[in-house]
Each structure stands twice: as structure tokens, then as C-alpha cells.
């Protein structure tokens, strides 16, 4: 049995337990909102003051050491003027710079009937209050920190029976100025019953050029911390295809939460690609609230040098006839450290569930490291569930075979790494993004 603790019931003696976290909170929570938004901010503020930054003694963080993050003194990011060249064509685009809506870079004109794309102003209070900050997992410390600093929100609302033909681009740009900054992007996606929509959610470093095929850094690498939260509500018989792309440079910290709530007969798919970053973590949480849902999760992590990338997923299948499929791949070079922890919960009411989970890892050096833990927690007795993990290096026989066909060793290695990554990258529905990601993977794995 879980005991819910109300923020209002927390004793003052339990507040401000973590000096670093309190410092972040003081930076992000200064802005005042009105009405119900301020109330959820106030609740989140008190919860953060009750919390501490996770450490390796916490089971969920035992392979992810955040001590490097705590060594940095962050200031709240502000909007910075920027231009981004080479953006691929999208019918509709929302651009946020350091978490603030950039109307001049966005394209929200000529929206089809039944589609709203913009910031929180496009939603009425009745709809916004029903969904914003109402997903499971709001008491996670970094999610609560994001809510405490809630200022601007990227919003996509798809009305009942509306099918959006073209992907919607959600672009979050980090532009660093003097000193280390913290930015807290927030996104709310609502797919009403019988609707369909495809999203490209992308996090990049602002350097003017978009399609470079390199790690997106032309300025001096400066430290920044992205603490993002995306809430996705997939209502009855709705379908959401979510593509999440994170490209960070070597000095960046990125902690992201994707919280998805699926009603009955709904379908949700996520293609998540994470490249680079000093420390990155993606918490992907799926909550099934009705029977006969379909969930497909595909992921790719590519890191090198001394980078650390962590993917934690949790799929709660609480009703019968649910189907979930997950494939997560990691390419790890140099002294980098990858972490994967995937959980699938199948309680007794979730009879006739079909769940499969696989983590495949490619280590490019003898000092690369992966900690993987796919896990199933099943109490239902009539299910079909499987999980597994593989860890391997490039096979000498495969390299020799390619060399025997006139391909030199370096190019043979590139081809094999490219083929390993392409299974996930080819699922991205925009060709220019696929090309950029392939080039970036090759660049990073051949440093």
C-alpha cells in the first residue's frame, strides 16, 4: 500500500534538506503566476524543499553519480536571441529558447481545424488544469523542480477524431551566455479520443547551424543543465507517434522525464535517440488506464569519451490485453558508461498481457561499460512476457569479411556501427533528421 503525503502536511523541520537543491529552487521559482497554476507551483516548491538530490545509495540511481552536477553553481537561463539555419521543413513548429517560447522562430499558422499548437495560452483553463502536472510521477524530485519553476509550456492539443497528417516539430534550443545556466523546458501533449498525431521533440545546442552532421557546438563549450518534462495524454483510441532526439555537447547535463498516460484502445510509440552529454538521463514512464493498449518503445544511446547516459523506463500495464514492445540499443566508446533499467509491471488484473523487452549493447573499447537491468514484475497468471539483454563488441569475423571485399578496417567498423544504429534511426519519419543523426553517430564514435 502506498501512502500519499500531501505537501501541505510536510513539517517545516523537514524542509531545505539539500543546499544544492535549495539553490536551484531559489533560481527557478521566483516567477509568480495566478490561480491554479500558482497553487501547483507552490505545492511543487514545498515538495522540492522536502527532497534531496539522488545519489548512488538510491537504488534507482546507483549507477548514475550526480556529484559532477552538484559541483556547478547554476543560474536561471534567460531568453537569448538566436538564429537557426538549415531547419528541415515542417508544416508546424514550436521553438523554445532556454525554455522560453520563441514566436519569431516558430510556425503555427494555417493550423487545421481541431489542432492547437502554441504555448499555454492556446488552451482554456478548464483543459489545462485537467492535464498539466497531473501525470503520475509528479513527486520525482527533478519533475517537481520543473513544476516549481513552471513558466512557459509547449502545448499540442489534438481534438476528437482529428488526424494530423504531418509531424509537428518541438524544438528546444539551449543558448549559453556567461556562466552555467539551468533551463527547464516543459511540454504538454493531449490527443483526444480517435485522434492521431506525430511529434518530433528535439533538444539541441544553439549554434546557428542545424544540419551540420557534427556535434552541435561551434561556441566554447559552456556548462548548462536541461531539466525537461513532457506529459503526453493519449485518450481513448488515439494514436501518438513520439520521436525524441537529444543532441548535447560534452559539458551539458540533461535530465528528462516523459510521462505518458494511455486510455483504453490507445496506441503510443516512442523513438528516442540520445547522443552526447556529460551526464544524461531519460525517465520514460507509461501508465495504462484502460484495456487493450499498444505501447512500442525504441531507443538508441550513443556516447564516447567519459560520458554517462542513463535510460530508465517503467511500463505499468494495469488492465487486460495490453501489448508492449521495447528495444533499446547502446553504442558506447572510450571510457563512457551506459545504463539501462527497464521495468514492466503486470499486476493480477492485467490478464492476457503481451510484453517483450530487449536491450542490446555494443562496446567499442575495452574500457567502455554498460550496466543493464531489464526486469519484469508479474503477478498475473495468463500472460506472455519476455525480456533479455546482450553485450558485445564488433566481431573480428565481420570486419575481416568486409575487408575481404575491399573495404579497409576503419570503414568496415563504421559500416557495422552504422548498421547497428540504423535500426532505430530509420524509424525517425524525417529524412534530413535521419541523415544528421547517422553523421553525428559516425563523428562521435570515431573521435
Cite the beta strand spans of 136-205 per DSSP E.
154-158, 168-174, 181-183, 186-191, 196-205
Q: What is the mean pLDDT of residues 289-301?
A: 98
- 270 contacts: CB under 8 Å, gap ≥ 6: 242, 243, 244, 258, 260, 284, 296, 297, 298, 299
pLDDT the model gives residue 217: 43
To the question of pTM greater than 0.85 for the whole model, the response is yes
Question: Per-residue confidence at 443, pLDDT binned at 50, 70, 90?
Answer: confident
Nearest Cα to Cα of residue 144 among 248, 276, 237, 10: 10
Q: How many residues does the chain have?
A: 447
Strand, coil or helix: 375:
strand
Q: Is the pLDDT of residue 438 over 70?
A: yes
Question: Per-residue confidence at 379, pLDDT binned at 50, 70, 90?
Answer: very high
Radius of gyration of the chain (CA): 21
pLDDT the model gives residue 67: 95
Question: Per-residue confidence at 219, pLDDT binned at 50, 70, 90?
Answer: very low
The shares of helix, strand and coil residues in the chain, as percent rounded to the nearest 5, are 25, 40, 40
pLDDT (tens digit, 9 = 90+) per residue, 339-367? 999 999 999 999 999 999 999 999 999 99
Q: What is the mean pLDDT of residues 45-66?
A: 95
The DSSP letter of residue 84 is -
Question: Per-residue confidence at 124, pLDDT binned at 50, 70, 90?
Answer: confident
Higher-confidence residue of 236 and 6: namely 236
Report the C-alpha gap between 112 and 167 in whole angstroms. Answer: 13
Q: From edge to edge, which strands make up the β-sheet containing 196-205?
A: 100-101, 92-97, 168-174, 196-205, 239-248, 267-276, 294-303, 323-332, 354-363, 384-392
Q: CA angle at residue 147 from 24 to 268, to 5 degrees?
A: 125
Question: Per-residue confidence at 162, pLDDT binned at 50, 70, 90?
Answer: very high
pLDDT the model gives residue 157: 98
Report the C-alpha gap between 315 and 172 in whole angstroms. Answer: 26
Which run of H or E residues covers position 101? strand 100-101
Q: What is the mean pLDDT of residues 290-318?
A: 97
Q: Is the dihedral of CA 109, 245, 257, 191 positive or negative?
A: positive
Residue reference for cell 488515439: 238
- 244 contacts: CB under 8 Å, gap ≥ 6: 201, 202, 230, 256, 258, 270, 271, 272, 273, 282
pLDDT the model gives residue 205: 85
Which range, 29-33, 122-126, 166-170, has the best average confidence (pLDDT)?
A: 166-170
pLDDT the model gives residue 29: 84
Q: Is the pLDDT of residue 207 over 90?
A: no
Nearest Cα to Cα of residue 222 among 172, 184, 178, 280: 178
Q: What is the mean pLDDT of residues 29-38?
A: 83
- Do 210 and 237 touch, CB atoms closer than 8 A? no
Higher-confidence residue of 3 and 173: namely 173
Q: Is the pLDDT of residue 215 over 60?
A: no
Report the C-alpha gap between 198 and 270 in whole angstroms. Answer: 10
Q: Is the pLDDT of residue 84 over 70?
A: yes
Q: Is the pLDDT of residue 174 over 80?
A: yes
The cell for 299 is 531507443
pLDDT (tens digit, 9 = 90+) per residue, 232-284? 999 999 999 999 999 988 889 999 999 999 999 999 999 999 998 999 999 99
- Do 330 and 301 touch, CB atoms closer than 8 A? yes
Q: Is the pLDDT of residue 12 over 70?
A: no
Question: Per-residue confidence at 111, pLDDT binned at 50, 70, 90?
Answer: very high
The mean pLDDT value of the chain amounts to 90
Question: Per-residue confidence at 222, pLDDT binned at 50, 70, 90?
Answer: confident
The cell for 228 is 525537461
Report the C-alpha gap between 131 and 204 in whole angstroms. Answer: 27
pLDDT (tens digit, 9 = 90+) per residue, 382-421? 999 999 999 999 888 888 888 888 898 888 988 999 999 9
CB atoms within 10 A of CB 395: 10
- 12 contacts: CB under 8 Å, gap ≥ 6: none
Report the C-alpha gap between 377 and 362 in whole angstroms. Answer: 27
pLDDT the model gives residue 140: 93
Amino acid at each position: 500500500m502506498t501512502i500519499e503525503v500531501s505537501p501541505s502536511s510536510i513539517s517545516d523541520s523537514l524542509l531545505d534538506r539539500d543546499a544544492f537543491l535549495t539553490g536551484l529552487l531559489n533560481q527557478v521559482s521566483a516567477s509568480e503566476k495566478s490561480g491554479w497554476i500558482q497553487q501547483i507551483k507552490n505545492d511543487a516548491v514545498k515538495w522540492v524543499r522536502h527532497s534531496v538530490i539522488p545519489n548512488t545509495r538510491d537504488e534507482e540511481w546507483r549507477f548514475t553519480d550526480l556529484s559532477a552536477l552538484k559541483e556547478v553553481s547554476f543560474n536561471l537561463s534567460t531568453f537569448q536571441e538566436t538564429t537557426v539555419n538549415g531547419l528541415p521543413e515542417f508544416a508546424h513548429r514550436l521553438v523554445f529558447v532556454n525554455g522560453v517560447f520563441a514566436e519569431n522562430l516558430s510556425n503555427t499558422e494555417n493550423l487545421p481545424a481541431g489542432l492547437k499548437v502554441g504555448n499555454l495560452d492556446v488552451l482554456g483553463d478548464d483543459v489545462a488544469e485537467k492535464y498539466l502536472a497531473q501525470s503520475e510521477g509528479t513527486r520525482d524530485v527533478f519533475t517537481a523542480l520543473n513544476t516549481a519553476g513552471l513558466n512557459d509550456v509547449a502545448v499540442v492539443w489534438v481534438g476528437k477524431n482529428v488526424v494530423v497528417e504531418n509531424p509537428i516539430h518541438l524544438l528546444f534550443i539551449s543558448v549559453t551566455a556567461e556562466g552555467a545556466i539551468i533551463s527547464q523546458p516543459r511540454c504538454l501533449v493531449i490527443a483526444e479520443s480517435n485522434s492521431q498525431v506525430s511529434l518530433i521533440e528535439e533538444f539541441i545546442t544553439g549554434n546557428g547551424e542545424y544540419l551540420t552532421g557534427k556535434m552541435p557546438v561551434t561556441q566554447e563549450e559552456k556548462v548548462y543543465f536541461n531539466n525537461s518534462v513532457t506529459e503526453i495524454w493519449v485518450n481513448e483510441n488515439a494514436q501518438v507517434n513520439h520521436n525524441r532526439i537529444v543532441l548535447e555537447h560534452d559539458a551539458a547535463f540533461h535530465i528528462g522525464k516523459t510521462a505518458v498516460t494511455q486510455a483504453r484502445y490507445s496506441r503510443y510509440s516512442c523513438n528516442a535517440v540520445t547522443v552526447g552529454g556529460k551526464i544524461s538521463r531519460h525517465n520514460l514512464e507509461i501508465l495504462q488506464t484502460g484495456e487493450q493498449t499498444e505501447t512500442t518503445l525504441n531507443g538508441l544511446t550513443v556516447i564516447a569519451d567519459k560520458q554517462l547516459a542513463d535510460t530508465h523506463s517503467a511500463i505499468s500495464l494495469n488492465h487486460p490485453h495490453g501489448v508492449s514492445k521495447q528495444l533499446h540499443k547502446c553504442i558506447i566508446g572510450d571510457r563512457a558508461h551506459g545504463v539501462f533499467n527497464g521495468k514492466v509491471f503486470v499486476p493480477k488484473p492485467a490478464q492476457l498481457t503481451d510484453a517483450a523487452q530487449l536491450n542490446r549493447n555494443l562496446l567499442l573499447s575495452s574500457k567502455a561499460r554498460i550496466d543493464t537491468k531489464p526486469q519484469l514484475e508479474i503477478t498475473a497468471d495468463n500472460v506472455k512476457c519476455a525480456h533479455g539483454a546482450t553485450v558485445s563488441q564488433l566481431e573480428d569475423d565481420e570486419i575481416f569479411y568486409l575487408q575481404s571485399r575491399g573495404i579497409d578496417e576503419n570503414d568496415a567498423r563504421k559500416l557495422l556501427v552504422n548498421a547497428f544504429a540504423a535500426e532505430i534511426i530509420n524509424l525517425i519519419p524525417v529524412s534530413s533528421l535521419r541523415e544528421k543523426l547517422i553523421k553525428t553517430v559516425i563523428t562521435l564514435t570515431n573521435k
